[in-house]
Amino acid sequence: MKTNTILWVIFFSCIFTANSSLLFSEVADFILFNGKIITVDAQDNIYEAIAIKNGIILRVGSNQEILKFDGAGCKRIDLHGKTVTPGLVDSHFHLMYWGQQFWPGYLNIRHPAVTSKADLLNLIKEYVKKLKPGEWISGNQGFTLKMNETLDRWDLDKVCPDNPAYLRHCSGQYSVVNSKALEIAKIDKNTPNPHSSRIVKDSTGEPTGILMHYPAENLVGQFAPGYGELSEEEERESIDRGQKLCFEAGYTSVQDVIVGNFNDILLYKKFADSSILKVRLYALLYINNEEQANNVAQAYKPINTGRFTFGGWKLAMDGGLAARTILMYNKKLFASSQSYPYFEQDELNRIVKILHNTGLQVAIHVCGDEGIDMSINAFEQAMQANPRPDPRHRIEHGLFPSLNAMQRFQKNKIILSTQPQWITWYGDSYSQMTDSSTMRRLLPLKTMLNMGIPLAFGCDVPASTYQEPKWAFFGATIRKSAQTPTIFNPEERLTIQEALRIHTMGSAYASFSEKTTGSLEPGKFADLVIWSHDLYTMAPCEAIELNAELTMVNGEIVYTDGKNVVTSVDNDHTILSPDIRLYHYISPNPFSKATSINYQLQTAGRVKIDIFNSLGKKITTLIDEWQEAGNHSCEFGVRNYELSAGMYYYRIQVGERTESGRLLLIK
Task: Give the residues lining the site for Zn ion (CB under 5 A).
Answer: 460, 463
DSSP letters spanning 534-546: -TTTS-GGGGGG-
CB 267 within 8 A of CB 106: no
- Tell me the helices (H) and strands (E) count for the chain, helix number first: 19, 32
Strands 646-654 and 657-665: antiparallel
- Distance, in Å, from the CA atom of 485 to the CA atom of 153, rounded to the nearest integer, reads 37
**Residue 52 bridge partners (DSSP):** 30, 57
Nearest to 172 by CA among 112, 221, 126: 221
Helix (H, G, I), strand (E, B) or coil at 389: coil
Cβ nearer to Zn ion, comparing 235 with 460: 460
CB 84 within 8 A of CB 90: no
Q: Residue 130: which region, alpha, beta or left (left: phi > 0; alpha: psi -120 to 50)?
A: alpha
Amino acid symbol at 515: K
Strands 646-654 and 605-613: antiparallel
Instruction: Output the residue with the shortest Cβ distance to Zn ion.
Output: 460
What lies within 8 Å, CB to CB, of 424 at 6+ separation is 471, 474, 475, 478, 479, 480, 481, 482
Q: CB of 141: closest distance to Zn ion in angstroms?
A: 10
- Distance, in Å, from the CA atom of 123 to the CA atom of 117, rounded to the nearest integer, reads 10
Cα-based distances in Å from 598 to 73, 178, 212, 216, 407: 18, 61, 59, 60, 59
DSSP H or E run through 242 = helix 232-249
- Distance, in Å, from the CA atom of 194 to the CA atom of 181, rounded to the nearest integer, reads 17
Omega cis (within 30) before 590: yes
User: Which spans in 26-140 are helix H?
Assistant: 63-67, 95-100, 117-128
Q: CB of 464: closest distance to Zn ion in angstroms?
A: 8
- Distance, in Å, from the CA atom of 88 to the CA atom of 85, rounded to the nearest integer, reads 8
Amino acid symbol at 299: A
CB 622 within 8 A of CB 609: yes
Nearest to 413 by CA among 387, 374, 452: 452
- Distance, in Å, from the CA atom of 137 to the CA atom of 167, rounded to the nearest integer, reads 8
Write a three-state SS string for 573-641: HCCCCHHHCCCEEEECCCECCEEEEEEEECCCEEEEEEEEECCCCEEEEEEEEEECCEEEEEEEEHHHC
- Distance, in Å, from the CA atom of 270 to the CA atom of 291, rounded to the nearest integer, reads 28
Amino acid symbol at 140: N
Cα-based distances in Å from 649 to 74, 573, 658, 665: 18, 9, 13, 10
Helix (H, G, I), strand (E, B) or coil at 252: strand
Cβ nearer to Zn ion, comparing 170 with 526: 170
b/e code 225-256 from CB counts within 10 Å (16+ = b): ebbeebeeeebbbbbbbbbbbbbbbbbbbbbb
